[in-house]
Structure 1
Amino acid sequence: MVAHACQTIVACASLMYGQDPFVKHVSILIYDKDCKYFFLILNTAVRILWTFDNTLDDFYGIFPAVGSNGPTYKSPGINGYGSCLYLNASASQSIDVLSPPFLSMAYTSFSLSAWIKATTLNNAAVNGLSDNGIFGQYEQNSQDLSLHTIVRNQRLYFGFYGDDTQGNQLLVSDTWYHVAYVYDYSTLTQNVYVDGVLDGSNSPRGPYKGTVGNMTIGTNEVFFPYNYWNGCLDQISYFSRVKNATEVLYDATLTVAYSFNNTLLDDGPMGINGTGINFAYTASGRISTGLTLLTTVSYVQAGGLVLLGTSTRPYSMSIWINPTVITSGNIIHVAPTTTSISWSVPMLGFINTGNLGAQGCSPSGSVSLTGPVVPTGIWTHVAITYGNSNGLRLWINGTQFGASSSAYNYTAPGVPVTVTLGASLSSAGPCSSGVIATGQYHGSLDEFQLHSRELSSTDIWNLANP
């Protein structure tokens, strides 16, 4: 460390940032003559996350933000338990992330992502305006000096100013999307992703060269002030490296992942931790520690699941089971988080003949599949997948069992739902009955995952063969 009259402050700053696992280091420190304030340029944070759970500050407390014109919060956010940042474009609401500290994204790789749900979207053909701002950093509106990640004419748009990439998918209002903007400095490539799928790519682009300027959320300086976001923004994240396609897909579609390694903490990106009663951990799990359900009222839950509660959305569930009883029992049950709505589906469980059963919900009622008889006292991998075209499918030990159902549109309550593992705590609505003999599951469970996409046969095989 260079000797300085403000050495105590330098030491504190280095300790604060150097020990944070999400920050590499501080590259420049500048003090005023009274040694009271310092300006720093981070040689970039490994991760910054704005959760917007009733706060504008980032999760790690390094990049505090201030609201402009009274932005508010709206519940639920994408992860069900928190809130989203709710912006009213007509009131010119946005967020400023002020310097210091300055986040340097010049001449480097980075990945920006967010969950978005617009109340309305500008489209020049409709209302004469084109842009909907998500994130920006502005030095000046000259080539490679104005970073803007936006939706332009209802498509993703990744710009450095005059050096840009547009996506292809037409986005619509009142729909949650995961969007990602990834820049690879080594190849000068801009990539944009919608719901984990590559939507546009261009090279050579950039590099971005901005070295000053505040960050903005919900607007930017390109076409300002006609580019305000209208609706929800949530879980805005920055990484100081390229995220590959697999990582982006994971961020966009892995809703819950419980390993049950002596904890109900979520191993996925959403942070939807589990709760439960009357359960224990067993050292004899399929992969390390597992979960054992002990009594007639024994279960684990994941609540506030927004996408699973949305009609026509694809989904997949994967779990290891080791039952002691196979003539009845609900393995995976889904019902609204709020009990005032009459809707529920026993999605995976046992039929009274000892066979596994899988169920879905269509506009005409329950959709059912009958699976094989599975052994007691042995671990079996089971997965169910749903997609609009392929319908409901059941997978045993990595292989599809039997035929798919007919194609149908998944019907959900339109509110966040709760997955209950091991029990069926409610039974209401047209999809609450079917082939599964509902009731308490007896035995052990391990490695539960919920995805907001239809997993491929390769995905299922890999989960069944860890």
Structure 2
Amino acid sequence: GKVSPSRTITYTQKTKVKSKGKFSRPKWMTKKCLIITGIIFGILAIVAIVIPIAIIFSRHGTTSTTTVYTPVYSAYWSLDGNGNDMYSVYNGTISGSWIYYASGSTYFTTGQSLYMYSGTNNFFQMTTYFNLTYQSFTVEMWIYPTTLSGDNPLFSQCTCTSCTSQCLFLIFRSSQLYMGFNFNDLQGSTTFSTNTWYHVSFVYNYQTSQQIIYIDGVQDAIRSSVTTPYLGSNGTIYFGYSILSGSSSQYYGYIDNVALTTRAKSTSEILTDATQIFYYSFDQPNPYYDNGVNHINSTNYNSLTASSGRVKQGIRFTTTSSYFQMYSFSQFGVYNYKPWTFAVWIYPTSVAGVGSVAVPNYYTSGGQMYVTLGYAWGSCEGYVPCTGYQGSMDEFYAYRRELSASEIHSLANP
């Protein structure tokens, strides 16, 4: 028979053998997962290195600035019959036989002023120490000199008469203003006249090392690079007297509305202080208080009520005889041929040919000037009606100068 060919079948078995020291990757750990994980760890490593380096370099590249706020102290003496500070801190007294508080002898012909008219050793002195050393300050006052000869002190404070920068004196010297710290001084440039009211300001700016003198709000003289600040660590403040010159020098005339503050006022602030007559915001709870620097409050008004204003509250004229009136302005206006500016917001409720919207004014036999809102008081001719204004008013300003166009624009856009 035939012989069948033989067939050999071979079985191969693969056996997984764990080798020592080799990582066996789980099924979930794909190549894509490993790449993403590596990127994340790389980013974290870069952040951990870069941020500390950036912080170190930023500390070296910048300067840390610390702002120190110096408290501001202020005093204001109206000199209306006494030497009290408006804030009841720096009150003063008068000394001498030829000095008193004069009624009506002020720029605004209302209230009182300090009058020194003869003799020696007449002065106003403050009873509480006012620290002015190593800091800025501004001194402002109204003055009416009746005599100008030699040195006439207005304001002083002295620690040592023979030491540099330890005596502060603001004086007339040769009929010009003079500001000094003792051997560290500034001479003014304008020659003054007697029997005339002036607003004068003396500014020392500690930050810019400047001494500045202003007359009626306009800069008269300036000195930069003041070598040493005022160093008087104590001493009494005087008006009309200085211990540096003693009894040989005396101021003769009127002093009124003295203001002192431990900061250097700006040029615009000084101009406002010198030329703004009054400012009534008509805001509650004291709508008839003067919010300006002269504090000339009104007591003449009739049939007025509070209303919504252009800024906060205003006043509403409720009847045809309603009015708001101010007085004591004989120093400005047509009588003395001086410019002036009135500005007020109005909200008329009727314009049917009735009501005086303008600000009428007139003189009495003594030269007094009145400023009235809302009523003509018989001062009407031709097409100017004598009936009362109907509506509301707000933000009433008066200046003893002509305002510029930009200043008018600012008032018109509060």
- TM-score in terms of structure 1 length: 0.67
* Structure-2 change in CA distance of 1:326 and 1:332 (3 Å): farther
SS in 1 for 2:410: helix
Q: In the alignment, which residue of structure 2 is the partner of 1:144? A: 165
Given residue 371 of structure 2, which amino acid in structure 1 is its aligned partner?
A: V
Q: Structure 1 residue 132: deviation in Å?
A: 1.6
After superposition, give the CA deviation of every residue in 1:264-297 in whole Å (9 maximum; x if it has no partner).
21111111122311112222x2223222212121
Alignment counterpart, residue 120 of structure 1, candidates 141, 147, 163? 147
Q: Structure 1 residue 433: deviation in Å?
A: 5.5
Q: Structure 1 residue 249: deviation in Å?
A: 1.3
Asked if 1:420 is matched to 2:377, the reply is: no
Q: In the alignment, which residue of structure 2 is the partner of 1:73? A: 101
Aligned length: 336
Q: In the alignment, which residue of structure 2 is the partner of 1:51? A: 78
Q: Structure 1 residue 448: deviation in Å?
A: 0.9
Q: For 2:304 and 2:92, how far apart are their aligned partners in 1?
A: 42
Identity of aligned pairs, percent? Answer: 32
Q: Structure 1 residue 183: deviation in Å?
A: 0.5
Asked if 1:254 is matched to 2:266, the reply is: no
**Greater CA drift, 438-447 or 102-111:** 438-447
Q: Structure 1 residue 45: deviation in Å?
A: 6.1
Q: For 2:212 and 2:383, how far apart are their aligned partners in 1?
A: 45
The answer to whether the 8 A contact 1:78-1:84 is kept is no
Matches within 5 A, 1:23-422: 46-70=73-97, 71-76=99-104, 77-98=106-127, 101-122=128-149, 130-141=150-161, 142-205=163-226, 206-262=228-284, 263-275=287-299, 276-283=301-308, 285-308=309-332, 311-323=336-348, 324-325=350-351, 327-330=353-356, 331-336=358-363, 339-341=364-366, 413=367, 416-422=368-374
Q: For 2:205 and 2:279, how far apart are their aligned partners in 1?
A: 29
Q: Which runs of 5+ in 2 are unaligned?
A: 1-69
Q: For 1:417 and 1:65, how far apart are their aligned partners in 2?
A: 32
Q: For 1:174 and 1:313, how far apart are their aligned partners in 2?
A: 17
The answer to whether the 8 A contact 2:120-2:247 is kept is no
- Greater C-alpha Rg: 2
After superposition, give the CA deviation of every residue in 1:66-92 in whole Å (9 maximum; x if it has no partner).
322131111223344310001114354
After superposition, give the CA deviation of every residue in 1:397-428 in whole Å (9 maximum; x if it has no partner).
xxxxxxxxxxxxxxxx3xx422111112254x
Q: Which runs of 5+ in 1 are unaligned?
A: 1-42, 123-129, 342-412
Given residue 101 of structure 2, which amino acid in structure 1 is its aligned partner?
A: Y
SS in 1 for 2:248: coil
**Greater CA drift, 306-315 or 102-111:** 306-315
The answer to whether the 8 A contact 1:329-1:442 is kept is yes
The answer to whether the 8 A contact 2:145-2:253 is kept is yes
After superposition, give the CA deviation of every residue in 1:217-243 in whole Å (9 maximum; x if it has no partner).
101133332321111101111101111
After superposition, give the CA deviation of every residue in 1:160-209 in whole Å (9 maximum; x if it has no partner).
11111122222212221111111011121001111111111001223111
Q: For 2:224 and 2:190, how far apart are their aligned partners in 1?
A: 19
* Structure-2 change in CA distance of 1:302 and 1:162 (3 Å): same
Alignment counterpart, residue 391 of structure 2, candidates 433, 439, 443? 443
* Structure-2 change in CA distance of 1:214 and 1:45 (3 Å): farther
The answer to whether the 8 A contact 1:158-1:181 is kept is yes
After superposition, give the CA deviation of every residue in 1:18-44 in whole Å (9 maximum; x if it has no partner).
xxxxxxxxxxxxxxxxxxxxxxxxx97
Q: For 1:321 and 1:190, how far apart are their aligned partners in 2?
A: 42
Q: Structure 1 residue 314: deviation in Å?
A: 2.2
SS in 2 for 1:58: coil
Q: Structure 1 residue 312: deviation in Å?
A: 2.6
Q: For 1:140 and 1:328, how far apart are their aligned partners in 2?
A: 68
SS in 2 for 1:90: coil
- TM-score in terms of structure 2 length: 0.76
The answer to whether the 8 A contact 1:325-1:443 is kept is no
Q: For 2:353 and 2:89, how far apart are their aligned partners in 1?
A: 55
Q: For 1:464 and 1:62, how far apart are their aligned partners in 2?
A: 38
* Structure-2 change in CA distance of 1:57 and 1:444 (3 Å): closer
Name the one with the larger strand percent. Answer: 1
The answer to whether the 8 A contact 1:328-1:441 is kept is yes
Q: For 1:106 and 1:139, how far apart are their aligned partners in 2?
A: 11
Q: For 1:438 and 1:422, how far apart are their aligned partners in 2?
A: 10
| Runs of 4+ more than 6 Å apart | none
Name the one with the larger helix percent. Answer: 2
The answer to whether the 8 A contact 1:44-1:105 is kept is no
Q: For 1:153 and 1:44, how far apart are their aligned partners in 2?
A: 37
Q: For 1:282 and 1:44, how far apart are their aligned partners in 2?
A: 37
